[in-house]
Structure 1
Amino acid sequence: MSSAGQLQQLQGNILTAAGWVQGSIAFSEKISAIDGVSVDPALNHEHYILPGFVDLHVHGAGGKDTMDGGTAIETIARKLAQHGTTSMLATTMTAPMADLEAALRALGTVCRQRAQGSTRVLGVHLEGPYINPGKLGAQPDFALSGSLEQVQKLHALAPIRLITVAPEMDGHLELVRELTALGMRVQLGHTLGTYEDGVAALEHGASSFTHLYNAMSRLDHRAPGMVGAALAHAEFSEIIPDLLHVHPGAIKTALRAIPKLYCVSDSTAASGMPDGEYMLGRQVVHKCLGGVRLADGTLAGSTLTMDQALRNLVKIGLELADASKRVSTYAADFLGLAERGRLQVHGYADMVVLDRALNLIAVYIEGEKIDLENA
């Protein structure tokens, strides 16, 4: 693995913040120069150099779950780095407060210091427990109404960057306002809320939706639901493009409606592992036929990796530059990360190199070349 402190250079079709150039990119931990000429990458056969992937919804990978505590997050971060995820949010499950505290203690250390060969863990996505018990999806039944004091207690253990909230629960509109005032991003999800509940939450500071379409009230022409609120008003929203959670037609609908729709993996411990039984928080899940489900057949996260997410977007008709923004740039924009999710001078050297079939050739995280041999 190359050292992030050494000046390095790559050549190819580079997707910069200003568009495609054919040339070279020089970097150590950050990018120092990009030189080249404007190009249509379809007209030559050089490799693609894209921003590294930014995944804001990761439960696990490599047989480990974020709720396992201990060194589980290190295994997850190494496995995802091998699939081009250069920064991520470690995502928790709805669980008793003691379990959440234990998980965040372990995550706090990794958030402060990136381990060699690992993706950068930017912080925590708290997916629950502040959700509707009537729309758990694959979440365990430990939902409760939230309080600012409770969130601050968890935030002291590890930086919470993003929280999923069901806005229709008692006190949650005020909670959304309080969390937003602290600089946390709030998403709406695992909710039975109405269209009006969604609009009210956006007015109180919520700014995105958790795995759009999944675990939320559906769109109907007389009752638009939370999906309707997202399609009518959102600038940002997550979506899971594994082509199991959401039909390609529904993805295309969201693409037309939501300017900065961005992709997440919602990956579980089963990601990168053979078929079998795995844990998702306190729940047993089953990996089979490319999906992850509870015993009753409910989808329970995914085995998606972000390199496959990119390929899926191109498969359903997106241009590569647009697809790249939706696995990198827009998620970084959502968190306010101007130095990640795009290739520009003075930005972090978080990059993926892909062949013409969009298979990974190389991954660089803050200038460090990642070993892909065991991916």
Structure 2
Amino acid sequence: MNAIAYTGCDIHDGNRLHPGAVLVMEDDVCAGIESTVPPGARVVTLDGGTLCPGLVDLQVNGGGGVMFNDAPTVETLRTIAEAHRRMGTTALLPTLITDRRHMSRAAIAAAVEAVGKVPGIIGLHLEGPHLSQARKGAHDASLIRPLDDDDMAMLCTAAAKLPKLMLTVAAETVTPAQIAQLSAAGVIVSLGHSDAGFEACRAAFAAGARCTTHLFNAMSGLGHREPGLVGATLDGAGAAGIIADGIHVHPTAIRAALHAKVAGSMFLVSDAMAPAGTDIDRFTLNGREILRRGGRLTLADGTLAGADLSLPQAIRVMVNEVGISREQAIVMATAAPAGVLRHKGSAGHLTVGARSEVVHLAPDLSTARPLTD
């Protein structure tokens, strides 16, 4: 028997917390979550904290000092994935920010090649370029454009080649018919960077969009007469990613959103950029310098440009500032994002009999590291 029993900490299976339990692993397979150490198992005692599934991040723009937009290649994806793995994220969607069509094609080709070759890469997220100029955020306005027939063909073909393809669009720049076609092809359509009103957003969700990209940021707000994309999302349509760094969204707004949404339909994203996992203090995106100061990433005019955040840090904010339980916060970084992808693998869960990536979340929730590293 090659079983290893991990004790001295709590166990989270992606859905539920098991205080003081024993995690039994055998050759990277979850053999059980037990109350006692099984006979014959080698015991490893940890100093507190929580063992949980590897974290799942659906919005990763960069890491390890590089941006996916700078060079959409397999080697770039390897650098990004390795940087995030060191911070506890073992499954991610590399994200290409609004760029030219040839860059989108290169990103698709790199992701197709990387899946199965680069640990952690499970698909691709294209955030743009079919967005609202009014809500562009840090995206380059000159690169934003309508969704045309060539784009549709490229995206539908990519969805057939990739295990998971997420696409962020603005509800006002695409038609319900386009959303329906993309969804039927397997694309996970997410609404974001949008100034659309409530009815347009509701029509987009009805057509097949099933997610909202970084809720509250770069979108029409919740007005009492015009609820906008925030209102359409909180009204029950789709899942929603949230950047929980205490900067992008006030903890009170996150708390209100959690009260409105069905449990498990909100998930954490890092929206991480090149500095993730490094100490660099500046980098470029589409030729524009972005500065890292005091936990913020900004353009020269102060516009937020991604986040200086890891998923363990987001979990910590959710517990310490938003005020939810550790159990719920970990769900938002494991099973919840995996559920958005409808992922058929074990990502986001500790399932008995399945191969499982496990990370050790520190007692103060600030860091996580893979159990096997």
CA 294–273 in structure 1, closer or farther in 2 if over 3 Å, else same: same
Q: Decide whether the 8 Å contact of 2:156 with 2:182 is kept in 1.
A: no
Q: Decide whether the 8 Å contact of 1:262 with 1:330 is kept in 2.
A: yes
Deviation of 1:160 (Å)? 5.0
CA–CA separation in structure 2 for the residues paired with 1:362 and 1:98: 36
Q: Decide whether the 8 Å contact of 1:165 with 1:172 is kept in 2.
A: no
Deviation of 1:165 (Å)? 1.2
Q: CA offsets, 1:127-173, max 9 Å, x none?
A: 0112122221111121222242131355577555211111212x432
Q: Decide whether the 8 Å contact of 1:59 with 1:266 is kept in 2.
A: yes
1:163 aligns to 2:174 (yes or no): no
Q: Which amino acid letter does the alignment assign opposite residue 18 of structure 2?
A: W
Q: Decide whether the 8 Å contact of 1:272 with 1:303 is kept in 2.
A: no
Q: Which residue of 1 aligns with 2:313?
A: 308
Q: Which residue of 1 aligns with 2:42?
A: none
CA–CA separation in structure 2 for the residues paired with 1:27 and 1:195: 50
Q: Which amino acid letter does the alignment assign opposite residue 348 of structure 2?
A: G
CA–CA separation in structure 1 for the residues paired with 2:299 and 2:23: 47
**What is the total number of aligned residue pairs between the two structures?**
350
Q: Which residue of 2 aligns with 1:56?
A: 58
Q: Which amino acid letter does the alignment assign opposite residue 144 of structure 1?
A: R
1:180 aligns to 2:183 (yes or no): yes
Secondary structure in structure 2 of the residue aligned to 1:168: coil
Deviation of 1:361 (Å)? 6.1
Q: Which residue of 2 aligns with 1:40?
A: none
1:28 aligns to 2:27 (yes or no): yes
Deviation of 1:125 (Å)? 0.6
Note the residue ranges of structure 2 that are not aligned, 5 or more in a row: 37-45
CA–CA separation in structure 1 for the residues paired with 2:293 and 2:366: 24
Deviation of 1:325 (Å)? 0.5
CA–CA separation in structure 2 for the residues paired with 1:49 and 1:277: 34
Decide which of 8, 12, 15 is 1:15's aligned counterpart: 12
1:257 aligns to 2:260 (yes or no): yes
Deviation of 1:114 (Å)? 2.8
Q: Which residue of 2 aligns with 1:287?
A: 292
Deviation of 1:334 (Å)? 0.8
Q: Which residue of 1 aligns with 2:41?
A: none
User: What is the TM-score with the length of structure 2 in the denominator?
Assistant: 0.88
Give aligned-pair identity as a percent: 31
Q: Aligned runs of 1:43-192 on 2, under 5 Å?
A: 46-67=48-69, 68-70=71-73, 71-115=75-119, 120-141=120-141, 142-146=143-147, 147=149, 148-155=152-159, 160-169=164-173, 171-192=174-195
CA–CA separation in structure 2 for the residues paired with 1:282 and 1:347: 44
CA–CA separation in structure 1 for the residues paired with 2:106 and 2:368: 37
Q: Which residue of 1 aligns with 2:364?
A: 357
CA 175–160 in structure 1, closer or farther in 2 if over 3 Å, else same: farther
CA–CA separation in structure 1 for the residues paired with 2:368 and 2:269: 22
CA–CA separation in structure 1 for the residues paired with 2:283 and 2:294: 15
CA 303–78 in structure 1, closer or farther in 2 if over 3 Å, else same: same
CA–CA separation in structure 2 for the residues paired with 1:263 and 1:337: 16
Q: CA offsets, 1:69-118, max 9 Å, x none?
A: 23111111111001000100010011111122223322322123234xxx
User: How large is the Cα RMSD of the aligned pairs?
Assistant: 2.1
CA 299–359 in structure 1, closer or farther in 2 if over 3 Å, else same: closer
Deviates more, 1:145-154 or 1:57-66: 145-154
CA–CA separation in structure 2 for the residues paired with 1:76 and 1:182: 28
CA–CA separation in structure 2 for the residues paired with 1:281 and 1:107: 20
Q: Which residue of 2 aligns with 1:272?
A: 277
Q: Which residue of 1 aligns with 2:355?
A: 348
CA–CA separation in structure 1 for the residues paired with 2:234 and 2:368: 36
CA–CA separation in structure 2 for the residues paired with 1:207 and 1:132: 19
Q: Which amino acid letter does the alignment assign opposite residue 247 of structure 2?
A: L
Secondary structure in structure 2 of the residue aligned to 1:122: coil
Q: Which residue of 2 aligns with 1:198?
A: 201
